[in-house]
Amino acid sequence: MSEELLRIDDLHVAFSTRRGVVEAVRGVTLTVGAGEMLGLVGESGSGKSVTGFATTRLLDAAGRVTGGKILFRGQDVTKLRGDDLRHLQGAAMSMIFQNPRAALNPIRAIGLQIADAILTHKRISKDAARAEALDLLRAVQIRDPEARMNAYPHELSGGMCQRVMIAIAISCNPALLIADEPTTGLDVTTQKVVMDLLADIAAARGMATILITHDLGLAARYCRRIAVMERGRIVEEASPKILFNAPQHAYTRRLVAASPTATSRIEDLVTEEERERYATVVSKPRQEPAHGTPPLLEVRKLAKRFDQGSAAVADFSMTMAGGESVGLVGESGSGKSTTSRMICRLIDPSEGDIVFDGQSIGHVASRDFHRSRFRKDIQMVFQDPNESLNPRYSAFDCIAHPLMRLDGQRAGDALRKRVEECAERVGLPLDLLPRFPHQLSGGQKARVGIARAIACRPRLLVLDEPTAALDVSVQAVVLQLLDRLRRENDIALLFVSHDLNVVRMLCDRTIVLRNGGIVEQGESRALFDNPKTDYTRKLVEAIPHIETGEVLAAAL
Amino acid sequence: MTGLGATMVRAGRRLLSSLPALFGVLVFTFLLMRVLPGDPAVFFASGPNAGKEEIELIRKQMGLDKSVPEQLVFYLSDIGHGNLGRSMMTGQPVLKDLRERLPASLELTFTALLIALIAAVPLGVIAALRPGSVVDHGVRLFCALGVCVPTFVSGLLLIYVFYYLLGLAPDPTGRIDVFTSLPPQRTGFLSIDFLLAGDLEGWWAACRQLILPAVSMALFVIAPLARITRASMLVSLGSDFVRTARSVGLSWRKVVVTYALRNAILPVITIAGIVFSTMLGANVLVEKVFSWPGVASYALDALLSSDYAPVQGFVLLMASLFVLVNLVVDICYGIADPRVSIE
């Protein structure tokens, strides 16, 4: 390994919270060589971001380094004060953050923000700083940089904002860049462009990078060495090849198994020990619908125009059979969420018709649809499990509510029995039912959301990115749950997602959307293995793949 | 400057949309005055022993013998011609009275708001920089006191301390010593007119008269301004972009002032507009305590003597000012926040 730039030695970080002191980092030891790109991978709460913030001295007031050293070029960062610290921040090490739009000052032109960073560390005139800022915008490949200098963050896309953030971070040529989930929340194609750019810049400038991410595939694509963190400790550190083919630690094994790949199947997502229970269910064959059965859902030439006139969705047609699963994929702005909401009858289509079970429901106004008898049959699971549960309803109330409103059930033993049945169905322990959403974990909240959706025994479940906010291990369990519901209860799934690997596993058929129109559709595996359009190919290629043994062997 | 243009268009649209509200205010106050007990004709008759005929004559003179809708039509057409009627109390046209007295009220309110902002913003910022510290609690206590003590009490206290005990302040009656020769009226704001006339001595006298009433009014509104500054400053300081600013090592001043405070000041602008409008109407107590010849005390006197025209004129003036202040706030906001003009 090349010359050592950063050495973290037995680092401990604690946060003082209302419930006492919480140790977020418990003895992390790491080294980063000059010019190296290290991946720091873990699930939420593993302490990976806290490690990054401790290194750049950006912990918030409640957090404190309680032990260990962070040596940057032999100097202990944790002991720096005042000016020494400011000379370090930005000039020697800098950081880019998860939510690029929020990370930029909303009311300051981006050119000024870059110049601010330059002027802090260099004694040059304002004009010279402006010229340098312009060069940086060119370096991060922003089109029309002269005009963009005066733009504000809200006028730029998320990917553009992240490029500006990178420009700020590299403005003073730091030796170390810490990227904290730099592409989470960006589209796969944007993610690839931004990460490629970051890797190129780091290589060109000889900058060491720590890539903090929850996405093993992403880390594997860009890093030579990956450290896996769990509950404040590093459990394993190896090259991606070794990590994926021969993971040593149990947690790494679970993480690797849960990360969807191009070839993985739903049942592969858990490690062998946990697989037993699931296998018995999968083996049950799905009954094929009798020939000539009318489709469950038929959508004809659906279109949606918002006030401005341009169509968010145009000429969208599809059919779904009962118990079928269909994936709806595309980049943000492709109209996939709008389409799913129209089918759920949460918003009204401008044109076209929706036929459910032989009955036209497209013309029922969305605000009256709750009175339709089909409301029970079409249910939705939303993206954010935190935001989509009423904070003042307990888990029990959440699941019972649709039963009372749509099924007309009264509070009593029958209701309680049905709620408990649903909870059991989604694997939610019954003793969690009296709890409120804030007392549940992300995965548990997702289960409540699904239990609520299946409470009235729907025939079509529309899922809008149901696992986007979840850790991979939780996502694996939720995906298995959904697949099981489909097989056992014959619920059709319309699955909206930007994660192609997940869609490939879960869905029989996939529809690719772009700018509100269908680009390509077909049987999932065929579509992904052999995309017919450039757009789909671009989407597929942008997914960070975890190279499995066979692929690696072929490459060697 | 497309941003500024868009803001102007928005402001114009806002102005148009407020016209119906203004009309509503007109009609509402008109009707309200008519249902209030008290007969203005009796009040303005020559004396308690005025005969029925005399009262009837006055009634006819004032147009009170006509039906209420008729009166309303007359009133509206008068307003259309810029005639707000005549005050029975002063015997002058209401428009003239208001024009004479409005600058006094505005000068007082502006000064008070300025003092309040100068005190409140730094207090809020300091409190936000050290939340939970002694300073924070001190600011909170000060704000609570400011709100709890009514303005006339704090006004009287200030007079007692600075005029009676210390003798620092001048005689707390009116805008200026009666013997001072007034400057030629240009803006109506005495302090500015004196400056324009180059009379520094007069300017100083006017300022000395102004300071106590302005401070006692400011004390009352420091609390909401300081609290909102503190709250929005806390949000700003905890935001991602401040963390970004810190991550590249910007100086403390730059982080706090350029990044945090400029964002935090946006809600303060809105609140300041609301506070200003409230102060204009609510400063009647201060005007009374300091014998300040403003519009609020004028309207109160008119109300007590069932003098319709001045009260209606006052309410219309306040409503128009409210619209105007909101407009100014809108424009300021549009300039301060580039995101607004986009919508």
pLDDT class for A306, splitting at 50, 70, 90? confident
pLDDT class for A2, splitting at 50, 70, 90? low
Q: Check whether A453 has a pLDDT greater than 50.
A: yes
> Within A322-466, where are the H helices?
336-343, 395-406, 413-425, 442-454
Closest-CA distance, A110 to chain B, in angstroms, reads: 12
Residue A44 tokens, joined: 């939420």
pLDDT for A553 equals 42
Buried b (16+ CB within 10 A) or exposed e, A272-289: eeeeeebeeebeeeeeee
pLDDT for A275 equals 54
Of A85, A99, A152, the CB nearest to B338: A152
Interchain proximity A108–B258, CB inside 8 Å: yes
Interchain proximity B339–A171, CB inside 8 Å: no
Distance, CA of A371 to CA of A386 (rounded, Å): 27
Closest-CA distance, A329 to chain B, in angstroms, reads: 29
pLDDT for A112 equals 93
Q: Does A97 touch chain B (CB under 8 A)?
A: yes
Beta strands (DSSP E) in chain B are none
pLDDT tens digits, A118-151: 998 888 999 999 999 999 999 888 888 898 899 9
Residue ranges of domains in chain A, CATH in brackets = 4-259 (3.40.50.300), 391-457 (no CATH)
pLDDT for B310 equals 87
Q: Check whether A534 has a pLDDT greater than 70.
A: yes
Enumerate the residues of chain B whose CB falls inside 8 A of the CB of residue A116. 245, 248, 250, 254, 258
pLDDT for A290 equals 60
Q: Does B245 touch chain A (CB under 8 A)?
A: yes
Report the range of poorest mean pLDDT among A204-208, A402-406, B82-86, B263-267. B82-86
Interchain proximity A116–B248, CB inside 8 Å: yes
**Residue A546 half-sphere exposure toward CB, CA atoms < 13 A:** 23
pLDDT above 70: percentage of residues in chain A: 93
| Ranges of chain B whose pLDDT falls below 50 | 1, 342-343
| A341: CB partners within 8 A, 6+ apart | A347, A464
Of A104, A107, A169, the CB nearest to B262: A107
Q: Does B240 touch chain A (CB under 8 A)?
A: yes
Distance, CA of B329 to CA of B102 (rounded, Å): 20
Buried b (16+ CB within 10 A) or exposed e, A326-344: bbbbbbeebbbbbbbbbbb
pLDDT for B2 equals 55
pLDDT for B289 equals 87
Q: Check whether A425 has a pLDDT greater than 50.
A: yes
Q: Check whether A179 has a pLDDT greater than 90.
A: yes
pLDDT for A485 equals 86
Of A60, A104, A121, the CB nearest to B244: A104
pLDDT class for A549, splitting at 50, 70, 90? very low
Which amino acid does the sequence have at B300?
Answer: L
- DSSP label at residue B159: I
pLDDT for B1 equals 45
pLDDT above 90: percentage of residues in chain A: 29
Distance, CA of A403 to CA of A376 (rounded, Å): 9
pLDDT for A393 equals 92
Interchain proximity A154–B342, CB inside 8 Å: yes
Q: What's the pTM value of the predicted model, to 2 decimals?
A: 0.80
Enumerate the residues of chain A whose CB falls inside 8 A of the CB of residue B249. 85-91, 117, 120-121
Residue A90, SS3 per DSSP = coil
Does A332 or A324 have the greater pLDDT score?
A324
pLDDT for A277 equals 53
Q: Yes or no: say if A413 and A357 are a contact pair by the CB < 8 Å rule.
A: no
pLDDT class for A351, splitting at 50, 70, 90? confident
Q: Check whether A286 has a pLDDT greater than 70.
A: no
ipTM value: 0.78
Q: What is the mean pLDDT of chain A?
A: 85
